[in-house]
């Protein structure tokens, strides 16, 4: 879809009327109808069903059932929720679990992958990967004996992932290629199947971070032949602040892959209390400690809504919405000095658009403080606007950009301090 | 205190009347007044204040404030809750954080400790340590290059920790001594100061798992000179099922200790998004990924109740209660074939008592199904009865043992299957 209009308000109304996902908006808590929330890629809105689920988890399951909660459902949550997420990303049942943080899970699968490729010393990633993923790679290399070295391939323009250079960097020395499927800054999305195939041709394994894809960008891990994947659940899945992450291990690798964080939940028989660790069959061996039940229980309702809506429909709306935003950028924002920092080609773009502006930080402050628009600011001068197709309307996008235009045209941002202080 | 009576019911009444902590019982949710819950060492009861806190965290902080929750408090929770727990265990502010699971934290501090003692190849622990701790040790050894070997010192009687043999096992080759302070089976409690001193004399570091001590057994990490510690928050702290664990690093080690799971929350400036990991100053470097806010927010109210009650008062009541249980065992249970599997000396005993019986599994089933008593069963033939001094009364202990007596005397357990199936 290319937007061919200058009456963006009328177009928004029309697109909202045609939107077959519009009914999902009421499934989410929205106490302030004026607030336009464009940060579903960072912390998804609270589903109404989750609020109810949490009350039950706290008052009934913990408060009344106490320890019996483990036998009555908690113990199976990591696999149960994992399998549901697996449906969103093309995994088979028994390939996904939910546990720990994305970073901890990344450490587990990276160390596991390196042990599956002894003698190979190179790990390849890119400089647009989420910094935490690079930090974890550095920690994994430093803590496992130091035999590996990282090759961080740079992006040419800071927007597009360096797919070709990555393919060249992966060679017979390479143990592992690890990338974010959709990049957190620009929303560039890699061709997972193509890169996985190229890596496999060289004998390397591939770890994908799906944090900025899951729930917004279709992923088919099985078809891509991906080896390992991790991803977070608090963005498009609406799992709640810091909700536990997921971890995928391809079935064919499960028997030989070893979890370095070999805790009792990944033990073959956790309640036999034997002294020697025997990994559980299947992906369960990648569990570690006791799962954080309250945070874990909050994940499923948001995933259920996405499954009900259907990944393809969610994606179709997401593409329409980011196209709409790009058209608005072209007509309204570019003349105000905003630079587009996301791919124009929708096939290579996730569910947000990034724009740069020298006053991005102060603009973000004004939008939040005076205009009831919540965008995302990322150092040094980026604004990100994310669409979460289950609860973002075209009307909101129109209105948010109109308010942004006003902030810039009227220089409303000038009274805000230039020094960045935000933590998120 | 040694109990000198045979009228245990009257004694219970008297002790409850004298109990200066009795008022705390109403601070916990108790929907079924008949139910006697003796598993506070596994999953603590729900504090009323926590139920309210969780509603606020879900509906207001997440539902209404959305991403702003991070700036409005979430981001500081790992340190804020950590410092409160630190007050319970004799740590200084800035020495404790809350993050991840006990097992994941144990992995972090073990690998950090091993890197602080290069060239030393031995790790010492005991066979009464929590199995998950041994599994993590095995995983840490296997994933960090395999230069280390574990020496697991056996207990002579399965009840008392082999303190003397451990002291002998720690030698100039030893990098690390790691133990549970209070053992999960027998409740035996080590002399933390003495063992830490002995290990330090040989140049080894010490990691303590405080899971079965914190909130029930006084711990003074600073006075003991402990190097690292971890512990869970869902037992006596009543932090909720699988609530995130805590991690302590002695101030003097913080600058040199490196977290192998070096994620963005432990980065010096997480929101600068630099590509190279620079550890934060202080214990914050042991954070990894985004904290599980909902589970984390549930921890503080239970900790606040314990601090209000005071560790020494909690301990005094705990000792009186386990002494009372042991006296009841001596007069009522021993004649029925129960064997005491906890230390008689209260200075070396935590907050539960373990008894063995050939029919322990079936007895536990009958207690739960017919007598509204929830004890803990641990393979192969152990029952554990824990006292949580903030909400366990002497009257409950009397009543629970009377019901247990009835189950055994009337052989009520015989109709239950002998094969163990429980997961907890």
Band (A247; pLDDT cuts 50, 70, 90): very high
Chain B residue nearest residue A28, CA to CA: B63
Among B290, B385, B376, B398, which residue's Cα sits nearest to residue B16?
Answer: B398
Phi first, then psi, for residue A397 (nearest 5°) are -65, -45
* Ranges under pLDDT 50 in chain B: none
Please tell me the distance in Å from B2's CA to the nearest CA on chain A. 31
Select the residue of B45, B66, B136 nearest A45 (Cβ to Cβ): B66
Angle at A255 between CA A253 and CA A256, to 5 degrees: 70
Q: Tell me if A103 and B293 make a contact (CB, 8 A cut-off).
A: no
The mean pLDDT of A324-328, rounded to a whole number, is: 97
- pLDDT number for residue B353: 98
Which of the pair, A146 or A335, is modelled with greater confidence? A335
Q: Are A44 and A379 in contact (CB under 8 A)?
A: no
Task: Please write down the HEC assignment for all residues of chain B.
Answer: CCCCCCCHHHHHHHHHHHCCCHHHHHHECCCCCCCEECCCCCCCCCEHHHHHHHHHHHHHHHHHCCCHHHHCCHHHHHHHHHHHHHHHCCCCCCCEEEECCHHHHHHHHHHHHHHHCCCCCEEEEECCCCHHHHHHHHHHHHHCCCCCEEEEECCCCCCCCCHHHHHHHCCCCEEEEEEECECCCCCEECCHHHHHHHHHHCCCEEEEECCCCCCCCCCCHHHHCCCEEEECCCCCCCCCCCCCEEEEECHHHHCCCCCCCCCHHHECCHHHCCCCCCECCHHHHHCCCCCCHHHHHCCHHHHHHHHHHCHHHHHHHHHHHHHHHHHHHHHHHHHHCCEECCCCCHHHECCEEEEECCCHHHHHHHHHHHCCEECEEECCCEEEEECCCCCCCHHHHHHHHHHHHHHHHCCHHHHCCCCCCCCC
Task: Calculate the average pLDDT of chain A.
Answer: 96
Q: Are strands B174-180 and A246-249 parallel, antiparallel or unpaired?
A: unpaired
- pLDDT number for residue B379: 87
- Among all residues of A, which ones are annotated catalytic? 130, 209, 234-235, 384
pTM for the structure as a whole: 0.97
The winner for highest mean pLDDT among A6-15, A194-203, B138-147 is A194-203
- Contact list, A62 vs chain B (CB under 8 Å): 43, 46, 240-241
Please tell me the distance in Å from A191's CA to the nearest CA on chain B. 23
The answer to ipTM > 0.85 is: yes
Q: Which residues contact B56 (CB under 8 A, 6 or more apart)?
A: none
Q: Tell me if B64 and A31 make a contact (CB, 8 A cut-off).
A: yes
- Contact list, B27 vs chain A (CB under 8 Å): none
Please tell me the distance in Å from A48's CA to the nearest CA on chain B. 9
- pLDDT number for residue A1: 54
- CATH 3.90.1150.10 spans which residues of chain A? 8-33+310-415
pLDDT at position A421 over 90: no
Band (A423; pLDDT cuts 50, 70, 90): low
Select the residue of B39, B45, B54 nearest A58 (Cβ to Cβ): B54
pLDDT > 70 fraction of chain A, expressed in percent and rounded: 98
Q: Are A204 and A365 in contact (CB under 8 A)?
A: no
- pLDDT number for residue A394: 98
Q: Which of B384, B394, B398, B413 is catalytic?
A: B384
DSSP A234: S
The dihedral through the CA atoms of B64, B70, B71, B72 has a sign that is: positive
The dihedral through the CA atoms of B199, B200, B203, B204 has a sign that is: positive
- pLDDT number for residue A182: 98
Q: Which fold, B8-33+310-415?
A: 3.90.1150
Select the residue of A139, A232, A241 nearest B293 (Cβ to Cβ): A241
- CATH 3.40.640.10 spans which residues of chain B? 51-307
Q: What digits encode the pLDDT tens for the residues A79-91?
A: 999 999 999 999 9
Q: Are B243 and B296 in contact (CB under 8 A)?
A: yes
- pLDDT number for residue B213: 98
Q: Are B29 and A59 in contact (CB under 8 A)?
A: yes
Q: What digits encode the pLDDT tens for the residues A271-314?
A: 888 999 999 999 999 999 999 999 999 999 999 999 999 999 99
A with B: how many residue pairs have Cβ under 8 Å apart? 309
Q: Tell me if A271 and B422 make a contact (CB, 8 A cut-off).
A: yes
pLDDT at position A424 over 70: no
Q: Tell me if A104 and B102 make a contact (CB, 8 A cut-off).
A: no
Q: Which residues contact A95 (CB under 8 A, 6 or more apart)?
A: A86, A221, A248, A249, A250, A251, A254, A283
**Cα–Cα dist B90/B88, whole Å:** 6
- pLDDT number for residue B273: 86
Band (A420; pLDDT cuts 50, 70, 90): confident
Q: Tell me if A75 and B423 make a contact (CB, 8 A cut-off).
A: yes
pLDDT > 90 fraction of chain A, expressed in percent and rounded: 94
Q: Tell me if A107 and B74 make a contact (CB, 8 A cut-off).
A: no
Chain A residue nearest residue B235, CA to CA: A67
- pLDDT number for residue A349: 98
Q: Which fold, A51-307?
A: 3.40.640
Q: Are strands B245-249 and B228-231 parallel, antiparallel or unpaired?
A: antiparallel
- Contact list, B423 vs chain A (CB under 8 Å): 70-71, 75, 270-271
- pLDDT number for residue B145: 87
Q: Tell me if A131 and B74 make a contact (CB, 8 A cut-off).
A: no
Q: Are B247 and B105 in contact (CB under 8 A)?
A: yes
Q: Which of B234, B236, B248, B394 is catalytic?
A: B234
């Amino acid at each position: 879809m290319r937007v061919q209009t200058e009456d963006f308000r009328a177009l928004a109304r029309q697109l909202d009327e045609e939107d077959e996902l519009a009914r999902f908006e009421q499934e989410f808590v929205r106490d302030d109808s004026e607030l336009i929330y464009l940060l579903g890629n960072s912390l998804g809105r609270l589903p109404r069903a989750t609020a109810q689920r949490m009350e039950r988890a706290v008052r009934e399951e913990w408060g009344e059932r106490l320890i019996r909660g483990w036998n009555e459902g908690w113990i199976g949550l990591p696999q149960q929720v994992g399998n549901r997420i697996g449906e969103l990303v093309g995994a088979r049942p028994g390939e996904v679990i939910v546990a720990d943080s994305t970073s901890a899970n990344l450490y587990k699968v990276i160390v596991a992958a390196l042990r599956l490729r002894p003698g190979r010393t190179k790990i390849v990633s890119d400089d647009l990967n989420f910094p935490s993923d690079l930090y974890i790679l550095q920690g994994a290399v430093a803590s496992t004996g130091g035999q590996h070295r990282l090759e961080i391939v740079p992006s040419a323009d800071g927007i597009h992932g360096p797919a070709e250079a990555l393919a060249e960097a992966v060679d017979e020395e390479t143990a592992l290629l690890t990338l974010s499927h959709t990049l957190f800054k620009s929303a560039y999305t890699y061709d997972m199947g193509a890169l996985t195939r190229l890596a496999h041709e060289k004998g390397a394994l591939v770890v994908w971070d799906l944090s900025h894809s899951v729930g917004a960008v279709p992923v088919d891990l099985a078809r891509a032949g991906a080896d390992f994947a991790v991803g977070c659940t608090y963005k498009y899945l609406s799992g709640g602040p810091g909700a536990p992450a997921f971890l995928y291990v391809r079935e064919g690798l499960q028997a030989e892959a070893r979890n370095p964080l070999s805790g009792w939940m990944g033990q073959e028989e956790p309640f036999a209390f034997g002294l020697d660790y025997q990994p559980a069959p299947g992906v369960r061996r990648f569990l570690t400690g006791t799962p954080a039940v309250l945070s874990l229980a909050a994940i499923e309702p948001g995933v259920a809504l996405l499954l009900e809506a259907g990944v393809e429909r969610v994606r179709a709306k997401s593409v329409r919405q980011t196209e709409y935003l790009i058209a608005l950028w072209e007509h309204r924002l570019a003349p105000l000095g905003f630079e587009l920092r996301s791919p124009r080609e929708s096939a290579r773009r996730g569910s947000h658009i990034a724009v740069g502006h020298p006053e991005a930080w102060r603009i973000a402050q004004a939008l939040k403080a005076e205009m009831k628009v919540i965008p995302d600011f990322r150092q040094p001068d980026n604004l990100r606007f994310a669409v979460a197709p289950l609860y973002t309307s075209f009307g909101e996008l129109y209105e948010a950009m109109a308010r942004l235009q006003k902030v810039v045209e009227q220089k409303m941002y000038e009274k805000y301090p230039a020094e960045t202080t935000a933590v998120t």
